[in-house]
Structure 1
């Protein structure tokens, strides 16, 4: 399998990361990191955020010394390439120490002990979902070695974390977590992540078998899909990243993911972050009022911009300016102008220390070639469409009187809105019991149920 695109910065400090009097500085404050996590809608890799964590040195060898003779449950899977996912319920399990795991992982042919029935060349082993609270029940001081508070969650450490230790080939089947988002700190070795957005859920053929309270699995082995049985999977958009030691991956809520170890030994630590913070009704109303006021202010400013652009265009006509430039301006409709303005105003959080996970350009099995082509920017779907890309289907159409109608209608709507809008509880109730709202909610519920059935 070819190396996956995605986050490439090493865990070493990036140029310009900053040093103050010889002390290394993290690229994001806890407040800024939390702001990114709470607002970002796509997977991304944080770099240079955990270089001072004591857990940075938690290799499997180190942990074997810390845990001594503690028995750990390993899931055993086959190193095979068939199209059937290896669900946890179909795997064998072994109780062993980390030292015994490391010995077996050295591929010794005369090995004895708990792994004696598992040929290292044919099997992988995975100590997955190991909660710190159980693993280190007699060494609770070690919880402080993980510092999730650096990401804006005060008090969160190893107590709310899970440990994963695997051999090459160890993996979790493709699934989505039904709660919160996920932060994953890679400690040793590399893991390759295959991610799919929530909108592609119908193409992942979700199933509740095997049943797991907080996860929904895919029927597909996403690294070797059976496209005759699951043809819709061709439409799924695959994002990929190879996570390296020292990096922290952010997985948004409800993103599907398949994770595989691609080095002889891998160690990861993760924490699931709850995204719902309880607030009072008064606070919620306060936020709602601010949002409504901001919307009215935005619409008013856009009307002014549209009218200014229209005036500027008329002036260019009168003055006979460059024809080519003149045509470009006239070929843009109001929607294009607004989208362009929004793009300019939206500040991207990405940079050398926050790298977005991108669409995969990895070569796929022969039957899938031609479905995913080019790099992430030129992703082509089966129907010739470009998912996730804005289409300007009206760009060849000359602007006409329609723009005047749009601007005048928007201006009329804006002028009707009071400068200080207040949304009350009664207003909210009126909206919730509105027949149109009820109809829309019912349609969404029916559609959601049909997707899971």
Structure 2
């Protein structure tokens, strides 16, 4: 990877020898440190989040990201927790949008990835003809330098791009009480998406699953997951009520969470005008997640065919074929596609309502 990014002879930089570094970018992401260094656990202690109010949290609960220039993740929000990100080498530019902007970002669950809700909008080069509501979105843009830590609050949308030739960062997702209901919502979404998309075209699961999702789970397994999530939520609620009655422990815990000591160096990221954020970012069109894997398949929904392409993407025709065949299936016979239906059916607002109804049903 280092040889490839520095333009050394291709024979040295296998398995990148097939790709011109001036035309492609690469990204190793979601690399859990506990798995990478499972035989060198002493390395976990080199990462400490105690200065941010989380004593005991270290590399075991952290994830490594390494990318080349223009490597990026598409705009999305994480269903669970909040996020701390430490920049180690190179710079990364973050485009952040508050939860109140969700409608303006056109959320979708295709491609499906557990706990990630994607935006249909390319936020650095938006198609305002198709996504006019994006004009109302309020971007907060910040460039993270080595040694800086970014706090990403719960359900904030983010698009992240590597600015320098090599970027290295480490993050840790911080679990929150609200995750109990979020896991129920995710279980409902997985059950619906897997059932409907598998029924539509069971032989082409890769067209709608993101690379991080190995396979579509069966309806039986998804229902087991849903029941387990509901049981965990109800159990948590019972414990919380008991603590409130005994000594208001939960109330104290909530107050402590609001006052996490992030230190004197915490700088607020203020909103910028849409014009300023667009000019500063440039038009990077490539989107992908895990690009240093051995999977040679194209990444549907993540890679586009302008600017630098992702290392593991197939040619543009293949990606175009996948997109067209999935989003416009039988378009001559019907106006509404499966994805159109899912965009409405598993919209975060709808799923939240369904989860509330299910949980209320179980309480009775």
Q: What's the TM-score, normalizing by structure 1?
A: 0.45
Aligned with residue 281 of structure 1, among 241, 244, 253: 241
Corresponding residue for residue 4 of structure 2 = 104
Q: Deviations over 1:77-123 (max 9, x none)?
A: xxxxxxxxxxxxxxxxxxxxxxxx00000023545521011111111
Q: Deviations over 1:16-75 (max 9, x none)?
A: xxxxxxxxxxxxxxxxxxxxxxxxxxxxxxxxxxxxxxxxxxxxxxxxxxxxxxxxxxxx
Counterparts of 2:347 and 2:165 in 1: how far apart (Å)?
46
Aligned with residue 272 of structure 2, among 326, 338, 360: 360
Counterparts of 1:177 and 1:230 in 2: how far apart (Å)?
22
Corresponding residue for residue 183 of structure 2 = none
Counterparts of 1:151 and 1:446 in 2: how far apart (Å)?
33
Is 1:193 the equivalent of 2:193?
A: no
Cα distance change on mapping 1:165 and 1:350 into 2, 3 Å? closer
- Asked if structure 1 preserves the Cα contact closer than 8 Å seen for 2:46 and 2:59, the reply is yes
Is 1:235 the equivalent of 2:128?
A: no
> Counterparts of 1:145-184 in structure 2 under 5 Å?
145-184=46-85
- Aligned residue pairs total 221
Counterparts of 1:170 and 1:201 in 2: how far apart (Å)?
24
Cα distance change on mapping 1:102 and 1:360 into 2, 3 Å? same
- Secondary structure of the equivalent of 2:267? strand
- Asked if structure 1 preserves the Cα contact closer than 8 Å seen for 2:107 and 2:347, the reply is no
RMSD of the TM alignment (CA)?
Answer: 3.3
- Asked if structure 1 preserves the Cα contact closer than 8 Å seen for 2:32 and 2:63, the reply is yes
Counterparts of 1:211 and 1:106 in 2: how far apart (Å)?
34
- Asked if structure 2 preserves the Cα contact closer than 8 Å seen for 1:178 and 1:215, the reply is yes
Which consecutive residues of structure 2, in runs of 5 or more, have no partner in the other structure? Answer: 179-235, 253-258, 280-345, 355-364
Cα distance change on mapping 1:154 and 1:116 into 2, 3 Å? same
Counterparts of 2:277 and 2:166 in 1: how far apart (Å)?
26
- Asked if structure 2 preserves the Cα contact closer than 8 Å seen for 1:195 and 1:240, the reply is yes
Q: Deviations over 1:334-358 (max 9, x none)?
A: xxxxxxxxxxxxx9x9996110011
Corresponding residue for residue 246 of structure 1 = 147
Deviation of the 1:452 alpha carbon: 10
Cα distance change on mapping 1:233 and 1:452 into 2, 3 Å? farther
Bigger RCO of structures 1 and 2 (CA < 8 A, at least 6 apart): 2
> Counterparts of 1:203-282 in structure 2 under 5 Å?
203-276=104-177, 280-282=240-242
- Asked if structure 1 preserves the Cα contact closer than 8 Å seen for 2:10 and 2:16, the reply is no
Counterparts of 1:213 and 1:162 in 2: how far apart (Å)?
17
Deviation of the 1:134 alpha carbon: 1.1
> Counterparts of 1:294-309 in structure 2 under 5 Å?
none
- Asked if structure 2 preserves the Cα contact closer than 8 Å seen for 1:202 and 1:451, the reply is no
Corresponding residue for residue 228 of structure 2 = none
Cα distance change on mapping 1:148 and 1:204 into 2, 3 Å? same
Q: Which has the larger radius of gyration?
A: 1
Corresponding residue for residue 138 of structure 1 = 39
Q: Deviations over 1:141-194 (max 9, x none)?
A: 100000112222232100000000000100100000000000001111110000
- Secondary structure of the equivalent of 1:284? helix
Counterparts of 2:166 and 2:347 in 1: how far apart (Å)?
45
- Asked if structure 2 preserves the Cα contact closer than 8 Å seen for 1:207 and 1:452, the reply is no
Deviation of the 1:275 alpha carbon: 1.5
Cα distance change on mapping 1:282 and 1:207 into 2, 3 Å? same
Corresponding residue for residue 433 of structure 1 = none
Counterparts of 2:99 and 2:70 in 1: how far apart (Å)?
26
- Secondary structure of the equivalent of 1:233? helix
Q: What's the TM-score, normalizing by structure 2?
A: 0.55
